């Protein structure tokens, strides 16, 4: 079940980020992250672009978990520009993913466009959010596409009612389609913690969906 996705990569006055599919998997990932962070700190723009490719999905999920979906698009640029300018403050290069998540979380919480989460009234007979794909966010301008986007926004509003740890992990899974191992590598969480967050978070999320009339 994928309920929402990024429309496009952000742009900034820093190095031009390329699109990507999330963190590489494997035991060597932390060492690679550290090497990329070290090179980026030395001014290597290609290394920073690689960091963007690896961590943009995770960062976007954290933003969506704490800020309005539309605002997350603008905050993506803000997060990576802040990271580019602040790499000298990164103390452990291999933890660059967790560091980016902290920047994203702080930027989202400081944003002023989101009011405290409140229960959403969903449209009559909305489409099942589990049937919404990344393509629903695309260029279709018909009534069906608008309805799908509205339903996705409503589903995200419900996601925002979960505890922080659950909502971020679920956003990575449901919004960006990251697997459990990919979430663990991107965030620095253990596989066990990710599994617990996904299991408990999904249980709470389904309860919220049922209370709002989703199938």
103-110: long-range contacts, CB 8 A cutoff, minimum separation 24: 103/79, 104/59, 104/62, 104/63, 104/75, 104/79, 105/62, 105/66, 105/168, 107/63, 107/75, 107/78, 107/79, 107/82, 108/62, 108/63, 108/65, 108/66, 108/67, 108/72, 108/75, 109/66
pLDDT value for 10 = 39
| Tokens 């963007």 found at | 52
pLDDT value for 157 = 82
Give the Cβ contact number of residue 210 at 10 Å.
Answer: 10
Give the Cβ contact number of residue 116 at 10 Å.
Answer: 5
Task: Please state the pTM of the whole predicted model.
Answer: 0.73
pLDDT value for 22 = 46
pLDDT value for 142 = 59
Residues in the chain with pLDDT values less than 70: 1-28, 112-151, 215
pLDDT value for 132 = 35
Residue 135: DSSP 8-state: G
CA 134 to chain centre: 14
Domain parsing of the chain, residue ranges: 1-215
pLDDT value for 29 = 78
Topology at the third CATH level for domain 1-215: Rna Polymerase Sigma Factor; Chain: A (1.10.1740)
């Amino acid at each position: 079940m994928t309920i929402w996705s990024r429309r496009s990569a952000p742009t900034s006055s820093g190095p031009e980020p390329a699109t990507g599919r999330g963190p590489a998997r494997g035991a060597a990932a932390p060492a690679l992250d550290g090497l990329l962070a070290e090179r980026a700190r030395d001014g290597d723009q290609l290394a920073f672009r690689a960091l963007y490719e690896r961590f943009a999905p995770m960062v976007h999920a954290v933003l969506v978990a704490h800020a309005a979906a539309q605002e997350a698009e603008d905050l993506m640029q803000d997060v990576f520009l802040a990271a580019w300018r602040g790499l000298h403050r990164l103390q452990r290069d291999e933890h660059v993913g967790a560091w980016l998540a902290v920047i994203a979380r702080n930027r989202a919480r400081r944003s002023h466009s989101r009011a405290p989460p409140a229960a959403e009234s969903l449209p009559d007979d909305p489409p099942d959010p589990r049937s919404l794909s990344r393509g629903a966010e695309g260029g279709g301008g018909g009534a069906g596409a608008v309805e799908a986007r509205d339903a996705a926004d409503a589903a995200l509003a419900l996601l925002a009612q979960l505890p922080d740890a659950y909502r971020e992990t679920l956003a990575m899974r449901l919004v960006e389609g990251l697997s459990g191992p990919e979430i663990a590598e991107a965030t620095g969480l253990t596989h066990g913690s990710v599994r617990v967050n996904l299991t408990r978070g999904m249980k709470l999320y389904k309860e919220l969906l049922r209370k709002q009339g989703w199938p």
